[in-house]
């Protein structure tokens, strides 16, 4: 009983904190190269954004798209479906939102917003459909196909912006502005925080509930932990994977809707600086759980806002943000692996070409009895 109240050094919060500290130690190198003081830089990164109301709200704004993509990636990975295509699915959602947003002028706001959200989710799911079918029907690795569709989606955006959707007024490669009724309302005066943030939280609460409390969620987790075991228990693993892939694509598509309707108010080619890939960082750092995704997205949002301030005041290139994300992903996955072999000295079970979600640490979390 005593051990129950002791915080194990291998418990998830301690492990994630350790991953963050190791990451900071490693990225002190590039900060020193840029001629800045790492301690001062990290203080700016992490603490500074929280010291004023305006920047604290900016943290929420920055966290909004990666809340969506983090949840999207986490759901797919929990099912053992390696969707690396959230970036492309986000862009398709953005295209759909802009397409609908440009023609709904004069509609009631509720109808306009609903049409955009539904179109974006469907577009994201549609972009995820082909890799999912290829995987489930023909055993073709979804990692490669979802990855390859990311540059295709970006080319589609650029094709539209240099072609039919080029802004006729400015001539810039940007789409015309969406109708005023299609813009997401601001949540607070004089801030960029918009309806998308609430939508992201709603999606995450629903995802948490479905994963933790419904038979569909149980099937999804079972398929991820052990496809063979799930099949043996009578679960239709193919259908479960398809559902996970489509839901994941739809949620990633909503990230695109949110950026178009809440921030840009038009389709632009620089809409996503890699939010789909950051979603993988968020999902992994959040150990594939929905509460974890929220914390990880807020942390990365904080870091991103802080890094842009630090870039200005300390002369550190803002590209450091990407370095931190990459190193953070690597240290997290390394520590999760260390923990797995500490507690499970046996090798992973024999399987086919694909690997189970247990490999990212979801199994450990489930074993600790934390739902969702």
Partner 1 sequence: MTFLVDLLAATLRNATPLVYGTVGETYAERSGVLNLGIEGTMYAGAFAGFATAWVTGSPLLGLAAAIGVGLGAGAIMALLTVTLGANQHVSGIGLTIGLIGASEFTNRLIFQGGELQRIEPMPIVNPFDGLAGLGEVGAIFDQYALTWIAFLVVVPVAWYVLQRSSFGLEIRAVGENPEAADAAGVNVARTRYLALMIGGALMAIGGAFITLALLGSFTLDIIAGRGWVCVALVIFGRWRIGRGVIGALIFSLIFSLQFRLRILPGFGELPFELLLALPYLVVIAALAISGRNVAYPGAYLKPYRRS
Query: Which parts of this chain interact with partner 1 (CB under 8 A)?
Result: 30, 33-34, 82, 84, 130, 134, 138-141, 143-145, 147-152, 155-156, 158-160, 162-163, 274, 277, 280-281, 284, 317, 319-327, 329-330, 333-334, 336-338, 340-341, 345-348, 352-355, 359-360
Residue 357 and residue 224 in contact, taking contact as beta carbons nearer than 8 Å? yes
Nearer to partner 1, 76 or 115 (CB): 76
Between the alpha carbon of residue 271 and those of residues 66, 174, 176, the distances in Å are 13, 10, 14
As measured in angstroms, the least distance from the Cβ of 149 to partner 1 is 7
Nearer to partner 1, 60 or 297 (CB): 297
As measured in angstroms, the least distance from the Cβ of 80 to partner 1 is 11
Residue 110 and residue 195 in contact, taking contact as beta carbons nearer than 8 Å? no
Nearer to partner 1, 137 or 213 (CB): 137
As measured in angstroms, the least distance from the Cβ of 29 to partner 1 is 10
Nearer to partner 1, 194 or 339 (CB): 339
Nearer to partner 1, 34 or 181 (CB): 34
As measured in angstroms, the least distance from the Cβ of 299 to partner 1 is 16
Q: What is the DSSP string of 202-240?
A: HHHHHHHHHHHHSHHHHHHHHHHH-HHHHHHTT--HHHH
As measured in angstroms, the least distance from the Cβ of 83 to partner 1 is 10
As measured in angstroms, the least distance from the Cβ of 187 to partner 1 is 30
- What sign does the dihedral 176-177-179-182 (CA atoms) show? positive
Q: What's the CA gap between 136 and 270, in Å, rounded?
A: 33
Q: What's the CA gap between 119 and 266, in Å, rounded?
A: 15
Q: What is the CA radius of gyration of the chain?
A: 21
Phi first, then psi: give them for residue 70, nearest 5 degrees: -60, -45
Token readout for 319 is 């590209």
Nearer to partner 1, 224 or 262 (CB): 224
Nearer to partner 1, 264 or 284 (CB): 284
Residue 224 and residue 358 in contact, taking contact as beta carbons nearer than 8 Å? yes
As measured in angstroms, the least distance from the Cβ of 347 to partner 1 is 5
Residue 78 and residue 145 in contact, taking contact as beta carbons nearer than 8 Å? no
Token readout for 208 is 């948490």
């Amino acid at each position: 009983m005593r051990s129950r109240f002791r915080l194990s050094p291998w418990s998830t919060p301690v492990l994630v904190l350790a991953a963050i500290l190791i990451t900071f130690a490693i990225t002190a190198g590039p900060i020193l190269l840029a001629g800045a003081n790492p301690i001062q830089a990290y203080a700016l990164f992490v603490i500074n954004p929280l010291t004023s109301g305006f920047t604290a709200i900016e943290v929420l704004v920055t966290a909004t798209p990666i809340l969506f993509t983090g949840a999207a990636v986490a759901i797919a990975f929990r099912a053992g479906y390696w969707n690396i295509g959230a970036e492309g699915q986000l862009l398709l959602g953005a295209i759909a939102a802009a397409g609908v947003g440009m023609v709904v002028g004069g509609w009631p706001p509720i109808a306009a917003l609903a049409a955009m959200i539904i179109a974006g989710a469907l577009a994201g799911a549609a972009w995820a459909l082909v890799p999912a079918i290829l995987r489930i029907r023909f055993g073709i690795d979804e990692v490669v196909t979802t990855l390859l569709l990311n540059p295709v989606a970006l080319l589609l955006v650029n094709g539209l912006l240099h072609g039919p959707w080029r802004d006729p007024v400015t001539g810039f490669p940007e789409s015309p502005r969406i109708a005023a009724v299609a813009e997401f309302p601001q949540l607070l005066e004089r801030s960029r925080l918009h309806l998308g943030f609430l939508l992201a939280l709603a999606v995450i609460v629903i995802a948490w509930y479905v994963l933790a409390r419904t038979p569909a969620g149980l099937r999804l987790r079972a398929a991820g932990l052990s496809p063979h075991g799930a099949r043996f228990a009578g679960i239709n693993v193919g259908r479960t994977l398809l559902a996970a892939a489509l839901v994941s694509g739809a949620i990633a598509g909503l990230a695109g809707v949110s950026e178009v309707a809440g921030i840009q108010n038009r389709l632009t080619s620089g809409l996503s600086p890699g939010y789909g890939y950051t979603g993988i960082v968020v999902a992994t750092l959040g150990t594939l759980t929905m509460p974890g995704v929220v914390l990880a997205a807020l942390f990365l949002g904080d870091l991103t806002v802080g890094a842009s301030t630090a870039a200005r005041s300390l002369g550190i290139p803002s590209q450091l943000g990407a370095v931190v994300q990459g190193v953070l992903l690597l240290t997290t996955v390394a520590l999760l692996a260390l923990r797995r072999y500490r507690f499970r000295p046996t090798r992973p079970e024999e399987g086919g070409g694909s690997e189970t979600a247990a490999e990212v640490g979801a199994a450990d979390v489930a074993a600790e009895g934390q739902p969702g």
